Structure formats: structure tokens, C-alpha cells
């Protein structure tokens, strides 16, 4: 716990008046800060998260005014049309028409883009909400995403409180809420649902409530492909706990005591592994093709999945044939050093293992592209490390301002559609 901090307000930003600031204005700000600090933690977290989403909505609306001709709607769309593009259309397709029984192919027999690349839990919830209320499917998906994003902020704060004071945990939540790609949490993408379930599962693991984590992990595995790194994290954590138990003097042949949680953790590892295979297995059962999911997923890559290779290809593309081959190794070395730093070490074993396993998963399976920025969101525990790096109000405030400016870059560069010379556009 970061118990050495003396900051007691929600952001502890009002302790010393800057030179030249009007005294009456400063008094009102200080009074407002004191009142806010007395609010329940969930009101503080929820208010800050909603404020961040309002800023993102303003950026979306400003970018929409400059949106030209595109594949989905007329130029200068309204906010709701503007946020319902890209993968949101695929989730809408899955909601309304389900998943194909036969994989679509071209004349040469190559699998084409289809809904199997998009996990079913998010569109299924949208179908239930739309059916129960009569609202439009796109609106139902957007509402679910927004509510799940708020829930993620609340659960993330609760998770951070296991390692930091209220103020530092609040700053970590603010960093997560304003992260450059955080606007995706308010659009009809499955990220917010997946992060809510992931944060809940990590919280239960930190609390050593492994049996309670099992159903949460299964649902998480049906929202986005995070089951494989979670199973790896649970398995490594099991080995770590087992090693500690034996290092404490327990005989090798002796069974772990029931209260140790070791066997529950082993069960969570197995459930996570099975959960990771659920969606590919469902795609196989429906289509009759054992590779239905992987064939569909790799359509967007333009080539088959070869572990690690895309990182070297991208490195060569960006840095040339020599430095490009070295670039992935340099990246891994820097990430290892980063994970060994004091602010990251303060996260504790479980969260450090999760971040390491998830980054390892990305290195093995990810094809690095512009969508990679969005796929970094499951590393959200590192937001707490960023808050732990310094208690300086200037540093923390600068990070938030930088993140908000980078939101403009992300939305204007990647979310807004502009044709490339060769056709298409970079995906967000």
C-alpha cells in the first residue's frame, strides 16, 4: 500500500494557491475540493469517468464536423452515426443476423471477412436489451458499452486500492479514463465489456477468491480473446504460490492444505484454459470447420498466423533490414526493464504477471498495426504505476493533459475515415 502519501482530497490539487491567482476564486476552488473529497469514493470515480467521456464525446463531435465522404453515411454525420462505424458495424451484424453457418469465400476459396471474428457476448447482450426495450440495436450496444466502461472504472479503482491510497488509486483511474484510446469505451465495441470482466476477475484473484473468479473468466473469454494470457497468468501464479508453500518448509509429498487456495487456483487455471478455447470451439461446431475462427481472424491480416513473425516484418518495414530485426528484441528488453521498475513492482505479483502474460500474448499472436493501440487497454493496471511514479501534481496533471491531446490525435487520425492512396484507411 502507498501509505506514505499525505494527500487526502480527491486529487489533492488545492493545497497551495499559485502566485497571482485571485484569492476569492482560490477560496471557492479549495472549498469545492474539500466538499468533493467528502463524497463517497464511487461518486468521485464515477464523476471523473463521466467527465472524461464527455470530453471524448466533444472530440468525437468536433471530428465528425470534418468527416468527409466515407463508406457508411453522408459527410458531417451526427454523433451517434459517427461512433457506430468500423467494428461497431460487425457487432451490429452479429446482433441482428447472428453468425454464418458456412464461412463466406471468394472465387478462389479464400475465407472472407465475417462475424466470427467478433465474440458473441457483447452482441448477445445488445440483442437482449434491444428486444426488452425496443430500442435500436446500435443504441443498445452503445448504451451497454458506456455502462460497462463506467463499471470498469469503479472496479479498477477497487483493484488499485489494494496497492495504493485513495488519492493515488483515483489518479490511476483518471489515467485509465483519459488514456488516448479510452474513447473506444463509449462506442459499440466489446472493449469496455471485456475490461469490466477482466478487472473483476483480477480483483477476485488479488483477493484470492479463485472459485468466484471462474464464472467471470468464462464470460470474459466470450467477450474478447483474453483467455489465453489469463490462463497463462493463473498457471504461473499457481506455480509461484506452490513454490512459496514448499519454500516455507512443507514436505514435497504433502498435499496443500485446503485453506491455501492452491487447488482453487489450479482449477481457475484449467477453467481459464477451457474458456480460451470456447469461442473457436463454438465456431467449429457451427461451421464444421475446425479452423473457422482462426481463418476468419487472419483475413484482416492478409496472411496466415505465424507466431512472432509479424513483429519482425513490421520492424523491417519501419527501420530497415538490420535494425528492423533487432527492434523486437530491443522492445522486449525495454519492457522487461520496465516491469522490473519500482512503480510496476508496487502493483504486486498478480497484476505484474497479468501485464507480462498479456504482452507476451501480443508478441506471439498480434499483427502490429494501428489497432494495436486499442489492444493495449488490457494493460490498464499500469495506469496505477504511472500514478505511483510521482505524487507531483504537475506531473499527474501533465499526464492527463497529454492523454487528452492524444485522444484528439487518435480520433482524428484513426477513427475518422479518410481514404488512403491505395484505398481503405488505417483501422482504429
The string of DSSP codes covering 338-361 is HHTSHHHHTT-HHHHHHHHHHHHH
111 SS3 class: strand
CB distance 188 to 89 below 8 Å: no
- Under the banding of pLDDT at 50, 70 and 90, the label for residue 105 is very high
Geometric angle at alpha carbon 116, from 115 and 120, rounded to 5°: 90
Inter-residue long-range contacts of 233-239, CB under 8 Å, 24+ positions, other chains counted = 233/350, 233/353, 233/354, 233/356, 233/357, 233/358, 234/205, 234/265, 234/268, 234/269, 234/272, 235/269, 235/273, 236/353, 236/357, 237/205, 237/265, 237/349, 237/350, 237/353, 238/262, 238/265, 238/266, 238/269
List the domain boundaries for the chain: 40-415
CA dihedral 58, 60, 66, 71 (to 10 degrees): -160
Q: What residues have CB less than 8 Å from 105, skipping those under 6 apart?
A: 111, 112
Q: Is the pLDDT of residue 123 over 90?
A: yes
C-alpha cell at 205: 484473484
Q: Is the pLDDT of residue 108 over 60?
A: yes
C-alpha cell at 300: 484482416
**What percentage of the chain has pLDDT greater than the value 90?**
82
* pLDDT winner (highest mean) among 2-6, 23-27, 128-132: 128-132
- Under the banding of pLDDT at 50, 70 and 90, the label for residue 33 is low
152 SS3 class: helix
The whole-chain average pLDDT of the chain stands at 91
Q: What is the mean pLDDT of residues 137-159?
A: 97
CB distance 410 to 180 below 8 Å: yes
pLDDT of residue 255: 58
- Under the banding of pLDDT at 50, 70 and 90, the label for residue 153 is very high
**What percentage of the chain has pLDDT greater than the value 70?**
89
Q: How far is residue 260 from each of residues 209, 264, 266, 330, measured CA to CA in Å?
A: 11, 9, 11, 39
pLDDT of residue 6: 41
Q: How far is residue 131 from each of residues 57, 96, 123, 140, 334, measured CA to CA in Å?
A: 27, 11, 12, 9, 49
Question: In terms of pLDDT, which residue wins out, 73 or 268?
Answer: 268
CB distance 163 to 347 below 8 Å: yes
Rounded CA-CA distance 185/187 in Å is 6
CB distance 73 to 65 below 8 Å: no
Among 314, 310, 318, 313, smallest CA distance to 366 is for: 310
Rounded CA-CA distance 173/11 in Å is 11
CA dihedral over 331, 334, 339, 343, signed as positive or negative: negative
Q: Is the pLDDT of residue 391 over 50?
A: yes
Q: What is the mean pLDDT of residues 80-100?
A: 96
Among 72, 136, 129, 124, smallest CA distance to 98 is for: 124
- Under the banding of pLDDT at 50, 70 and 90, the label for residue 143 is very high
- Under the banding of pLDDT at 50, 70 and 90, the label for residue 22 is low
105 SS3 class: strand
Question: In terms of pLDDT, which residue wins out, 35 or 200?
Answer: 200
Q: What is the pLDDT of residues 239-265, one digit of tens each?
A: 999 988 888 766 665 656 655 689 999
pLDDT of residue 253: 55
Q: What is the mean pLDDT of residues 215-227?
A: 98
Q: Is the pLDDT of residue 306 over 90?
A: no
Helix (H) or strand (E) holding 312: helix 309-319
Q: What is the mean pLDDT of residues 38-63?
A: 96
**Which of the residue ranges 2-16, 51-65, 218-232, 364-378 would you say has the lowest mean pLDDT?**
2-16
Q: Is the pLDDT of residue 8 over 80?
A: no
Among 223, 243, 222, 241, smallest CA distance to 233 is for: 241
pLDDT of residue 333: 97
Rounded CA-CA distance 427/425 in Å is 6
Among 402, 31, 419, smallest CA distance to 180 is for: 402
Q: What is the pLDDT of residues 269-288, one digit of tens each?
A: 999 999 999 999 999 999 99
Taking each helix axis from N to C terminus, what angle separates 262-287 and 227-247, rounded to the nearest 10 degrees?
160
Question: In terms of pLDDT, which residue wins out, 321 or 36?
Answer: 321
- For the chain, the straight-line distance linking the first and the last C-alpha, in angstroms and rounded, comes to 36
- Under the banding of pLDDT at 50, 70 and 90, the label for residue 36 is confident
Taking each helix axis from N to C terminus, what angle separates 262-287 and 210-221, rounded to the nearest 10 degrees?
20
Among 258, 281, 201, smallest CA distance to 233 is for: 201
Amino acid at each position: 500500500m502507498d501509505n506514505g502519501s499525505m494527500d487526502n482530497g480527491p486529487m489533492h490539487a488545492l493545497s497551495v494557491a499559485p502566485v497571482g491567482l485571485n484569492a476569492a476564486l482560490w477560496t471557492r476552488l479549495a472549498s469545492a475540493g474539500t466538499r468533493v473529497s467528502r463524497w463517497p469514493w464511487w461518486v468521485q470515480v464515477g464523476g471523473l469517468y463521466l467527465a472524461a467521456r464527455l470530453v471524448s464525446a466533444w472530440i468525437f463531435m468536433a471530428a465528425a464536423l470534418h468527416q468527409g465522404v466515407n463508406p457508411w453515411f453522408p459527410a458531417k454525420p451526427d454523433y451517434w452515426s459517427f461512433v457506430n462505424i468500423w467494428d461497431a458495424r460487425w457487432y451490429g451484424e452479429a446482433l441482428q443476423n447472428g453468425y454464418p453457418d458456412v464461412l463466406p469465400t471468394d472465387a478462389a476459396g479464400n475465407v472472407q471477412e465475417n462475424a466470427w471474428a467478433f465474440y458473441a457476448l457483447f452482441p448477445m447482450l445488445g440483442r437482449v436489451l434491444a428486444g426488452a426495450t425496443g430500442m435500436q440495436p446500435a443504441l443498445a450496444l452503445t448504451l451497454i458499452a458506456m455502462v460497462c466502461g463506467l463499471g470498469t472504472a469503479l472496479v479498477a479503482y477497487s483493484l488499485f486500492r489494494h496497492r495504493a491510497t485513495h488519492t493515488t488509486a483515483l489518479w490511476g483511474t483518471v489515467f485509465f479514463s483519459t488514456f488516448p484510446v479510452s474513447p473506444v469505451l463509449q462506442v459499440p465495441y466489446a472493449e469496455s465489456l471485456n475490461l469490466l470482466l477482466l478487472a473483476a476477475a483480477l480483483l477476485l484473484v488479488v483477493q484470492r477468491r479463485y472459485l468466484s473468479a471462474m464464472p467471470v473468466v468464462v464470460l470474459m473469454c466470450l467477450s474478447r480473446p483474453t483467455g489465453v494470457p489469463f490462463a497463462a497468468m493463473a498457471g504461473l501464479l499457481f506455480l509461484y504460490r506452490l513454490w512459496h508453500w514448499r519454500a516455507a518448509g512443507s514436505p514435497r509429498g504433502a498435499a496443500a492444505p485446503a485453506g491455501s487456495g492452491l487447488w482453487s487456483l489450479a482449477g481457475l487455471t484449467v477453467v481459464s484454459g477451457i474458456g480460451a478455447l470456447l469461442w473457436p470451439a463454438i465456431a467449429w461446431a457451427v461451421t464444421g470447420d475446425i479452423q473457422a475462427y482462426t481463418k476468419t481472424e487472419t483475413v484482416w491480416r492478409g496472411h496466415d498466423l505465424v507466431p512472432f513473425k509479424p513483429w519482425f516484418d513490421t520492424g523491417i518495414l519501419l527501420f530497415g533490414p538490420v535494425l528492423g530485426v533487432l527492434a523486437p528484441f530491443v522492445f522486449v528488453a525495454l519492457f522487461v526493464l520496465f516491469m522490473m521498475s519500482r512503480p510496476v513492482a508496487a502493483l504486486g505479483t498478480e497484476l505484474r504477471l497479468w501485464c507480462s502474460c498479456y504482452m507476451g500474448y501480443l508478441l506471439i499472436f498480434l499483427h502490429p498495426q494501428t489497432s494495436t493501440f486499442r489492444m493495449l487497454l488490457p494493460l490498464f493496471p499500469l495506469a496505477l504505476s504511472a500514478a505511483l511514479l510521482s505524487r507531483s501534481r504537475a506531473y499527474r496533471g501533465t499526464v492527463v493533459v497529454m492523454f487528452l491531446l492524444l485522444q484528439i490525435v487518435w480520433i482524428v487520425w484513426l477513427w475518422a475515415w479518410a481514404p488512403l492512396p491505395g484505398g481503405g484507411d488505417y483501422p482504429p
